[in-house]
Structure 1
């Protein structure tokens, strides 16, 4: 993965934590990163060039001025006051190249001195095995701090370890072996015989987790279940969970001025106008 620095910018040495989305149902991870970038007043420091990501271009997602300032598929933002770097991904990975993308992201993160990788993503509520009686979105996690994916800090926050993460499950084993450079032909034989347990390790967050872990980085995946539709509320809660883990106070973030989340200007027409209530 190559990158081009914005004029006069560079990756700040104090930003040791990298936060990025893993694309999945509802785009909750991307929306959460949008909220965090906007509310921390993070500044764009680099454009990332990754051949496995589909090209796209649009208007600046966070500011209306200067006019003509464009957004590209992969961009990096720094918030030195919070010690954070963000990567925002605005288009999907080319089919069949997810493992290449995950490896390149892990190599890039290590090359710029990141110590902790926080991956934000979502899971399809249609495959959820258990439903917890709560009005809030339950956050699930896996962490590289233990072989079984447990983390004391995540547990303290009330998060639940993702039950579907099992290092001994065949597809998780295959991912880990690929990331460590020791692929096993025997483990690859399941591709034509997928089972329900193969769903989670087949998602982008799983590949990113395994490859970043193989680079010796601390990795945490924060996940929530959702359905397709208006996922703003899901992204608000996932972004809030990220703040809790990172020790950030929403009221003290530089972009919020004590007034809560800063909603990016690019969200204004995200779902189009609301329905005409007269039809009900």
Structure 2
């Protein structure tokens, strides 16, 4: 459930867009959310209290001064830009075993209570498990639920991504097809539940591999910006586009603190 820091109620978010990540391969969605929060300087308005995520606590990941570096963060926090009608849920820890379905239920209940205009889920999927169709063209894909298809379907078709292809359920046996998102965490479940419950959900995902996933996060953030226009457009070159995003201070230790000189 949502717990406000400043007295914000669900009704305050009516008509807003909810942006959130899936805990998926390479943590690409979470890294992209970090870029959005850091670049837009989004203030924290509350947190999402749940026993479905592994508990964690840490220092402020978006600290810019020594003073705000002492602030604490937890596993699921909510940020907002009221002027942009944007709410961002950042998830920082994995799900406790067999708790992901319950999390989807309480999340969608919150979405309905707040009456968000749409939910945008940033995700990723294993690049090595793509089928032949998915090996061609861009590594960016999208999915849209029927509740939002009329309003954003045409827009997404014109952007740099492609609609996620379905695969045969039983190849050579029947013509039934399904969406297959290996490494995507709750992406498929959340999409399926949103379709059945009339939730306006947009999934933006990128095929990737484990490793240095900063380039993947920048690419996914750029793809998100094409549809939501969160920051002003600049040059079309990939280097100039990526430079628009502010890297959060917590990324300095993304791969640890380095090797101690005493080893040598």
Paired residues of 1:49 and 1:74 also in contact (CA < 8 A): yes
Counterpart-to-counterpart distance in 1, 2:82 and 2:149 = 32
Is the contact between residue 250 and residue 261 of structure 1 (CA under 8 Å) also seen in structure 2?
A: no
Is 2:179–2:188's contact at 8 Å kept on the other side of the alignment?
A: no
Equivalent pair of 1:140/1:222 in contact (CA under 8 Å) = yes
How many matched pairs?
A: 238
Structure 2 Cα separation of the partners of residues 143 and 260 of structure 1: 27
Tell me how far 1:198 sits from its aligned partner: 7.6
Is 1:265–2:264 an aligned residue pair? no
Contact between 1:26 and 1:228, CA under 8 Å: does it hold in 2? yes
- Return the TM-score normalized by structure 1: 0.76
Q: Is 1:120 the equivalent of 2:122?
A: yes
SS in 1 for 2:146: coil
Pairing 1:102–2:83 present: no
Give SS of 1:103's match: helix
The TM-score normalised by the length of structure 2 is 0.80
Instruction: Give yes or no for contact 2:28–2:124 (8 Å, CA) kept in 1.
Output: yes
In the TM superposition, 1:123-272 aligns within 5 A as: 123-129=125-131, 130-132=134-136, 138-145=139-146, 151-164=153-166, 199-200=180-181, 203-250=185-232, 260-272=244-256
On the 8 A contact 1:141/1:159 being kept in 2, the answer is yes
Match of 2:61 in 1: 61
5+ residue gaps, structure 1 = 171-195, 253-258, 276-280
- Which is worse superposed, 204-213 or 20-29? 204-213
One of 76, 79, 83 as aligned partner of 1:77: 79
Q: Secondary structure at the match of 2:198?
A: coil
Rounded to whole Å, the distance in 2 between the matches of 1:199 and 1:153 is 23
User: Deviation of residue 216 (structure 1)?
Assistant: 2.3
1:245–1:148 distance in 2 versus 1, CA, 3 Å = closer
**Partners of 1:226 and 1:100 in 2: how far apart?**
27
1:199 deviates by 4.6
Alignment RMSD: 2.9
